[in-house]
Amino acid sequence: MQKNNKIKKILIANRGEIAIRVSQTAKEMGIKTVSLYTEEELNLPHKSYSDESYNLGSGPLKDTYLNQDKIIDIAKKCGADAIHPGYGFLSEKSSFAKKVKEAGLIFIGPSPESIDLMGDKKTSKIKIQELGVPSIPGYHGDNQEMSHLIKEAHKIGFPVLIKASAGGGGKGMRIVFNENEFQAALEGAKREALNAFSDDTVLLEKYITSPRHIEIQVMSDQHGNHTHLFERECSIQRRYQKILEESPSPAVSPELRSRMTEAALKITKGINYEGAGTIELILDTDGSFYFLEMNTRLQVEHPVTEMVTGLDLVKLQIMVAQGDKLPYIQSDIKQRGHAIEVRLYAEDPDNDFLPSIGTIKKIGKSSVRDTRLDCGYVDGNVVTISFDPMLAKLISWGESRDSATKKLNLALNEILFLGLKTNRDYLKRILTLPEFKEGLTFTHFVKTYEAGLKPKEPNQEHLALAVAAYLFNSQEMTGPKQIFNKTTTAWENLSGFRNI
Which residues are catalytic, by number?
297
CB atoms within 10 A of CB 462: 11
What torsion, rounded to 10 degrees, do the Cα atoms 161, 426, 422, 340 define? -80
CB atoms within 10 A of CB 239: 11
Of residues 241, 248, 269, 3, the one with CA closest to residue 131? 269
CA distances (Å), origin 150, targets 163, 272, 479: 14, 37, 72
Cα atoms found within 13 Å of the Cα of residue 116, Cβ hemisphere only: 8
Is residue 234 within 8 Å of 197, Cβ to Cβ? no
Is residue 431 within 8 Å of 452, Cβ to Cβ? no
Of residues 90, 331, 376, 374, the one with CA closest to residue 245? 374
Cα atoms found within 13 Å of the Cα of residue 472, Cβ hemisphere only: 11
The length of the chain is 500
One-letter amino acid for residue 12 of the chain: I
Q: What is the DSSP string of 102-131?
A: HTT-EESS--HHHHHHHHSHHHHHHHHHHT
Dihedral sign (CA 75, 109, 10, 300):
positive
Q: Would strands 82-84 and 9-12 be described as parallel, antiparallel, or unpaired?
A: parallel
What lies within 8 Å, CB to CB, of 176 at 6+ separation is 153, 158, 159, 160, 161, 162, 182, 185, 186, 207
What lies within 8 Å, CB to CB, of 160 at 6+ separation is 138, 153, 175, 176, 204, 205, 206, 207
Alpha-carbon distance 119 to 58, whole Å? 29
Q: Which helix (H) or strand (E) holds 187?
A: helix 179-197
Alpha-carbon Rg of the chain, whole angstroms?
24
Q: Would strands 237-238 and 338-345 be described as parallel, antiparallel, or unpaired?
A: unpaired
What is the SS3 assignment for 165? coil
DSSP class of 135:
B
